[in-house]
Structure 1
Amino acid sequence: MGLLDILLGRTKPVVPDLDQLFALPSAAVTLQAAAGFTPTGTGAVCFATVEGAAFEQTHREVQALLDADTDRSGPPVELRRDDYGYSWLVSARGPEQLPELVNDLHAVNSAMEVNGFGPQLLCSLAAFTDDGGRRLALVYLYKRGTFYPFAPLPGAAERRDNALELQVRATLANDLRIEQDLGRWFPVWGAPGL
């Protein structure tokens, strides 16, 4: 970063660190012990919808890679589009298979990045629930290299449980690189698994 960048207030973009995803299994242990949330076994990678043969080839490669896993207890990986025009590559595992789910998320992100689709990557998430039916996602912001909790209120149309999100932030502060700018805690309405 140069002097002109400093004077104009520009910052250097954060380089994505996909290895941060591997902190999710230990964070899940902390989350279960402190707040009673357990993994649902569902996770997804969100990206701006891309058209064309190159993307279709990448999607087929990722699909074949993840579907080749014979230890999958959930349905195969699937591609979904949401109401906002984004695509989600969804992986479903058993609730006890969070490390394998994290491997799936990492593989999808890495394949997209290697094939030149890194700029289209938005976020990845792993879904959790508690005995009371509350839902929670730990969302990894690809372009920031940080996590944040997203907790939609049960039965409420597009309303969040902000108190729970702040509680989870405090609980996981030592386990995950938490996004400090609350303005970047974007809602992921309609995300698979929530």
Structure 2
Amino acid sequence: MGFLDILLGRTKPTAPDLDQLFALPSAAITLEAAVGFTPTGHGAVCFATVEGGAFAQTHREVQALLDADSDREGPPVELRRDDYGYSWLISQRTPDQLSALVNDLHAVNSAMEINGFGPQLLCSVAGFVDPGGRRLGLVYLYKRGTWYPFAPVPGRRERRDNPLELQIKAALGDDLRIEQDLSRWFPIWGAPGL
């Protein structure tokens, strides 16, 4: 970063740090103790839709890699498009397999990055639920290397539970690198598993 960048207020973009995904299992313990949310076993990687043979090959590689896991229970990894034009690679595990789910998310992100699709990666999300049925997604922003909570209000179309999100932010501040700029806590309506 040069002197002119400092004067103009420009900063270097934060490099993605996929190892931040591995902090999720310990954060899940804090989350359960603090507010009673437990993993659902659902996770997904969101990216700008990509067409073509190179992406199809990458998807086949990811699918083969994750299908080779002999401990996998449930359906194979699924590719789905949402109403907003984004694609989701979805992994489902049993709720007690959060570490395996994190490995799946890391493998998908790494494969996309290695094959040149890093700029299309947006976020990864892992689903949680409390005994009352409230849903929560812990969202990892790929380009920022940070996390934020997303809590849709049950039964209310496109409404968020902002007080719950702030409570989760406070509870997980020591476990995850939380995104401090709340304007970057974008809603992920229609995210699989939420």
TM-score w.r.t. the length of structure 1 is 0.99
- Off by >3 Å, runs of 4+ in structure 1: none
Give the structure 2 partner of residue 86 of structure 1.
86
**Number of aligned residue pairs:** 194
Give the structure 1 partner of residue 158 of structure 2.
158
How far the C-alpha of 1:7 sits from its partner, in A, is 1.3
Give the structure 2 partner of residue 143 of structure 1.
143
Q: Matches of residues 104-183 of structure 1 in structure 2 within 5 Å?
A: 104-183=104-183
Any unmatched runs of 5+ in structure 2? none
Q: Does 1:60 align with 2:41?
A: no
Q: Does 1:192 align with 2:185?
A: no
SS in 1 for 2:21: helix
How far the C-alpha of 1:120 sits from its partner, in A, is 0.2
CA RMSD of aligned residues (A): 0.5
Percent identity reads: 82
SS in 2 for 1:153: coil
SS in 2 for 1:105: helix
TM-score w.r.t. the length of structure 2 is 0.99
SS in 2 for 1:39: strand
How far the C-alpha of 1:72 sits from its partner, in A, is 1.1
The amino acid of 2:131's aligned partner reads D
How far the C-alpha of 1:16 sits from its partner, in A, is 0.4
SS in 1 for 2:119: helix
How far the C-alpha of 1:68 sits from its partner, in A, is 1.1
Distance 2:70 2:89 in 1: 19
Give the structure 2 partner of residue 43 of structure 1.
43
Give the structure 2 partner of residue 12 of structure 1.
12
Distance 2:185 2:63 in 1: 29
1:91-123 deviation line (CA, Å, top 9, x unaligned):
000000000000000000000000000000000
